[in-house]
Amino acid sequence: MRFARIATPEGLTFAVIDGEGDDHANLTAKAIKGTPYTEPEYTGKEFPLADVRLLAPTLPSKVVAIGRNYADHVQEVFQQSAEHLPPTLFLKPPTSVTGPGAPIRIPDFATKVEFEGELALIVGKPCKNVKAADWKSVIRGVTIVNDVSSRDLQFADGQWARAKGIDTFCPLGPWIETDLEKFELDNLPIKAHLTHDGVTETKQDSNSDQMIMGFGEILEFITASMTLLPGDVICTGSPAGTEAMTPGDTIAVEIPGIGVLENPVEQA
Amino acid sequence: MRFARIATPEGLTFAVIDGEGDDHANLTAKAIKGTPYTEPEYTGKEFPLADVRLLAPTLPSKVVAIGRNYADHVQEVFQQSAEHLPPTLFLKPPTSVTGPGAPIRIPDFATKVEFEGELALIVGKPCKNVKAADWKSVIRGVTIVNDVSSRDLQFADGQWARAKGIDTFCPLGPWIETDLEKFELDNLPIKAHLTHDGVTETKQDSNSDQMIMGFGEILEFITASMTLLPGDVICTGSPAGTEAMTPGDTIAVEIPGIGVLENPVEQA
């Protein structure tokens, strides 16, 4: 099942996406009464997806991210091997979250802003001290995240909260896919296509089989410290291929089976 | 005016604290209908403060903190001068927030957990791109925060999110003092008293006049990147004197004119 959050002429609502594939022309959004974290109760209102605007599919209380979880990305950003720089945990603020199609807005003091296409897990129930083997029991589904990062600020600050926490620096969507058995989560292609000056090139072209910490390990690691709540987002790390974006570009992160998360880039 | 959040036999509510001084026996909590971010509308219910439990006085969407904002603390933690390690921004998750009197719970993998007594600002209205001179216009009031930090994890991880983000590692309170003209904010004593084996010693004994970035500068710095929302917490940095706590200890952070934030320490 696919859950989205949509802006309709009648207001904002969570919805179930009806239909197959990614083509919005073939999909219908069926509004639900509550959130994606319980069985859906339909309001009876339906909208052709082409007629509404997709928003970020969750309103998280926190966005917890695993950095340095792909060896090739560690090498390209830090010029050191992942052996010396193991995965680490950081937070992006909820105010950085934005939806599919919404602009990534770059302020003038961020001079090297890169995309990072990643697979994101959406938490389904309050949980603490989750064992690795039980990770699927607390996850509602998966979606795509772009962990937008200002490399200059990241290195200048030491801490990554500002470089990765600027408003609009966490595009999320297009929807939450709840069927974790629908695809091989440990073997999912992750791609990012950058359009610059009208030319589209595939910059990230990797696979979740390259992750250093797996999903279960990530859940056990985070929840040993922090309680996770429904709607919380876990960013599972970026593979190599990240590159700077400039105003006028469009960045599309693609994970086959989930969909495409595309955002234009603007000067703030 | 002082706003608190309290647990009563009838449920949880925000309240205005009536009476002078810190002695709970002389104070009354007058329940209000909404939140502290509008003029209080009283429900008519009143409770002697001694009969209710104080909770953290805000439910923040985010806790934004300025690290390395007191030169003497930079030296004691990093063994480097603040000139080489300027103030930096980090986030603590909302799930780390706990109230006055509630235990700080130390998990077994955190082996050097220190207190950091700090002055906290509570945001009063949604804001972005605040100019330093206007900072008071977006702040609802001040309170006390203990930015509990596991030094071992802080250095092992590089990023501070886990070391400072463990559940209960953000005691906050006892209340929000809204009268910013009541005291000299730029000249406020900040103290932390650690009770270990029944002996109480004052470990932090500093003053907000030692801050590197002032309040206005902090607001301008944060809101250049992030939208702040009502209830959000800004931790303004810890002075020197931080030290490890062990289960059985009690830590009391005191800022005269605001109050005392006291928490016992337990093994998780």
The pLDDT assigned to A77 comes to 86
Domains in chain A, CATH or no CATH each: 2-55 (2.30.30.370), 63-267 (3.90.850.10)
User: CA nearest A147: which of A84, A104, A176?
Assistant: A104
Calpha distance B6→B173 (Å, rounded): 11
pLDDT band for B81, please (50, 70, 90 cuts): confident
What pLDDT, in 10s, does the model give residues A121-171? 999 999 999 999 999 999 999 999 999 999 999 999 999 999 999 999 999
The pLDDT assigned to A82 comes to 82
What pLDDT, in 10s, does the model give residues B61-73? 999 999 999 988 8
pLDDT band for A212, please (50, 70, 90 cuts): very high
Q: Is the pLDDT confidence value at A100 over 90? A: yes
Instruction: Tally C-beta pairs within 8 A across A and B.
Output: 94
Lowest mean pLDDT among A72-76, A221-225, B252-256: A72-76
Q: Using an 8 Å CB-CB cutoff, list chain B residues near A90.
A: 159, 161
Helix (H, G, I), strand (E, B) or coil at A220: helix
> Which residues touch B177 (CB under 8 Å, ≥6 apart)?
B1, B2, B141, B142, B143, B257, B258, B259
CB contact under 8 A, A88 and B61: no
Q: Using an 8 Å CB-CB cutoff, list chain B residues near A62.
A: 93-95
Q: Of all residues in chain B, what percent carry a pLDDT higher than 70?
A: 100
Query: Which residues between 89 and 118 in chain B have a beta carbon less than 8 angstroms from any beta carbon of chain A?
Result: 89-96, 107, 109
Mean pLDDT over B207-219 rounds to 96
Residue listed under structure tokens 């969407």: B61
Query: Which residues between 153 and 212 in chain B have a beta carbon less than 8 angstroms from any beta carbon of chain A?
Result: 157-162, 165-167
A229 close contact with B: CB closer than 8 A: yes
Residue A10 phi/psi, 5-degree rounding, is -100, 5
Residue listed under structure tokens 């009268």: B179
Q: Of all residues in chain A, what percent carry a pLDDT higher than 90?
A: 92
Closest-CA residue of A relative to B163 is: A225
Q: Kindly report the nearest CA distance between residue B11 and chain A, in angstroms.
A: 21
The pLDDT assigned to B119 comes to 98
CB contact under 8 A, B226 and A93: yes
Q: What single letter denotes the amino acid at residue B52?
A: V
The pLDDT assigned to B74 comes to 87
What is the token pair recorded at A180?
A: 């974790």
Calpha distance A158→A144 (Å, rounded): 26
CB contact under 8 A, A62 and B95: yes
What pLDDT, in 10s, does the model give residues B85-124? 889 999 999 999 999 999 999 999 999 999 999 999 999 9
What pLDDT, in 10s, does the model give residues B237-252? 999 999 999 999 999 9
Residue listed under structure tokens 């859950």: A3
The pLDDT assigned to B31 comes to 98
Q: Using an 8 Å CB-CB cutoff, list chain B residues near A218.
A: none
pLDDT band for B76, please (50, 70, 90 cuts): confident
The pLDDT assigned to A73 comes to 86
B2 close contact with A: CB closer than 8 A: no
Mean pLDDT over A28-34 rounds to 97
pLDDT band for A1, please (50, 70, 90 cuts): very high
CB contact under 8 A, B94 and A61: yes
The pLDDT assigned to A33 comes to 96
- Closest partner residue to B88 (CB to CB) among A93, A159, A227 is A159
